[in-house]
């Protein structure tokens, strides 16, 4: 009898456990919206960026220390000052490499979380950044045992690499941005095709679609202009391959992206008007929402 009751208690406990599991599963199997994915990616980005900012402070302090000791050595040129200079130079170089790594990690985080990039391109970008990070870590590991001459040699190598990183970071961040806006433009183009079908169906049922057609034309025109600006930006970003031109090309490309963004904003304003107009005609197809990552057949969120 007692055994049977124990069995019941056990089964009851087991049932509660399984219920807990079922309660937990939907919270992470429910499809995340882009909004939620963006928010999570951005929170992660700010965390890495914060670590970078702290590293900048360490770097700046070690630079001050190094320059102070260097001045002292140049003034007195004695052995104790030389030893102190070597120590500070190593620390400064080490921090310069660390801050460069953190800067690359910030970009890596953005590349990993930003949407609109194909898996293959994302992987290629991450590998390129990882190679730079690993290179720096390897050079960093040589610093503690470096002689005075080796410190100077390492400094030359680090300088060359820093100049290379500056160019790579500008190109990659520009390309990420171009892919991101292209993603939104692509969505708009899909929407235009879908809305066109809806309007054609309305027209076939005898409704007046003149206003809708005009607004759809505005929408398409603005998206076409946004696409032109995106393409100009992409050309600039892809051309970034030297220190001399990196800043100018990035700034130009970024300007084009901002202009493309303005056209996207205007286009989506027209889209809202189309949606309102279609609502008035009771012709809004729920399937349109799927373009934004939501399918009408998905399980309702509780």
Q: Does 156 bind other proteins (CB under 8 A)?
A: yes
Quick check: 300 binds other proteins (CB under 8 A)? yes
Within positions 28 to 47, which residues make up the interface with other proteins, using CB under 8 A? 28, 33-36, 38-40, 42-43, 45
Long-range contact set of residues 148-155: C-beta below 8 Å, sequence gap at least 24 = 148/82, 148/86, 151/86, 151/89, 151/90, 151/93, 154/93, 155/89, 155/93
Among the candidate windows 118-126, 131-139, 155-163, 216-224, which touches other proteins by CB under 8 A? 155-163
| Residues numbered 225-254 forming contacts with other proteins, rule: CB under 8 A | 250, 254
208 in the Ramachandran plot: left (φ > 0), alpha (ψ -120 to 50) or beta? beta
- For residue 38, give the nearest of 106, 110, 91, 87 by alpha carbon: 110
Q: What single DSSP character describes residue 157?
A: H
Q: How many angstroms from the chain centroid is the CA of residue 261?
A: 17
Site for other proteins in 269-298 (CB under 8 A): 271-272, 275-276, 279, 282-286, 288-289, 292, 294-298
For residue 187, the minimal CB distance to other proteins (Å) is 7
* Structure-token pair, residue 14: 């087991």
DSSP letter at 301?
P
Cβ 296 to other proteins, closest distance in Å? Answer: 5
**What's the CA gap between 136 and 125, in Å, rounded?**
17
Cβ burial, residue 263 (10 Å; 0-12/13-18/19+): buried
x/- track of binding to other proteins for residues 252-271 (CB under 8 A): --x--xx--x--xx--x--x
What minimum distance in Å lies between the beta carbon of 53 and other proteins?
Answer: 8
Closer to other proteins by CB, 193 or 298: give it.
298
Among 170, 215, 227, 229, binds other proteins (CB under 8 A): 170
Check residue 134 for interaction with other proteins (CB under 8 A).
Answer: no
Q: Distance (Å, rounded) from C-alpha 188 to C-alpha 38?
A: 19
- Contact at 8 Å (CB) between 209 and 203? yes
CA–CA distance, 94 with 112 (Å, rounded to integer): 26
Shortest gap between Cβ of 120 and other proteins (angstroms)? 20
Q: Which of helix, strand or coil describes residue 146? A: coil
Site string for other proteins, 188-227 (x = CB under 8 A): ----------------------------------------
By CB under 8 A, the count of residues binding other proteins is 90
Q: Which stretch binds other proteins (CB under 8 A): 14-22, 119-127, 133-141, 213-221?
A: 14-22
Question: Considering only residues 8, 47, 152, 197, which one is a binding residue for other proteins as defined by CB under 8 A?
Answer: 152
Query: HSE on the CB side for 37, CA within 13 Å?
Result: 13
Q: Which of residues 67-106 bind other proteins (CB under 8 A)?
A: 67, 70, 89, 92-93, 96, 99-100, 103, 106
- Are 276 and 9 a contacting pair, CB within 8 Å? no
Positions 112 through 131 that interact with other proteins (CB under 8 A): 114
């Amino acid at each position: 009898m007692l055994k049977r009751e124990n069995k019941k208690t056990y089964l009851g406990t087991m049932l509660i456990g399984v219920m807990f599991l079922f309660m937990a599963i939907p919270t992470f199997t429910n499809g995340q919206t882009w909004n939620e994915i963006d928010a999570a990616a951005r929170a992660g980005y700010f965390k890495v960026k914060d670590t970078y900012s702290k590293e900048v402070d360490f770097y700046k302090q070690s630079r001050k220390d190094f320059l102070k000791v260097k001045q002292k050595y140049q003034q007195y040129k004695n052995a104790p000052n030389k030893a102190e200079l070597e120590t500070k130079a190593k620390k400064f170089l080490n921090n310069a490499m660390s801050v460069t790594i953190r800067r690359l990690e910030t970009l890596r985080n953005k590349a990993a979380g930003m949407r609109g990039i194909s898996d293959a391109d994302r992987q290629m970008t991450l590998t390129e950044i990882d190679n730079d990070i690993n290179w720096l870590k390897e050079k960093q590991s040589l610093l503690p045992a470096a002689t005075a001459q080796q410190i100077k040699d390492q400094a030359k190598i680090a300088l060359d690499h820093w100049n290379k990183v500056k160019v790579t970071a500008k190109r990659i961040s520009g390309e990420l941005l171009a892919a991101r806006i292209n993603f939104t433009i692509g969505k708009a183009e899909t929407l235009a095709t879908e809305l066109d079908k809806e309007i054609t169906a309305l027209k076939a049922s005898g409704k007046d679609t003149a206003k809708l057609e005009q607004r759809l034309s505005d929408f398409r025109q603005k998206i076409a202009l946004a696409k032109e600006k995106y393409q100009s930006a992409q050309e600039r970003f892809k051309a970034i391959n030297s220190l001399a031109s990196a800043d100018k090309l990035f700034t130009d490309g970024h300007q084009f992206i901002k202009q493309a963004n303005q056209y996207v904003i205007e286009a989506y304003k027209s889209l809202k008007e189309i949606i309102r107009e279609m609502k008035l005609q009771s012709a809004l197809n729920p399937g349109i929402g799927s373009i934004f990552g939501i399918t009408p057949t998905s399980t309702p969120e509780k």
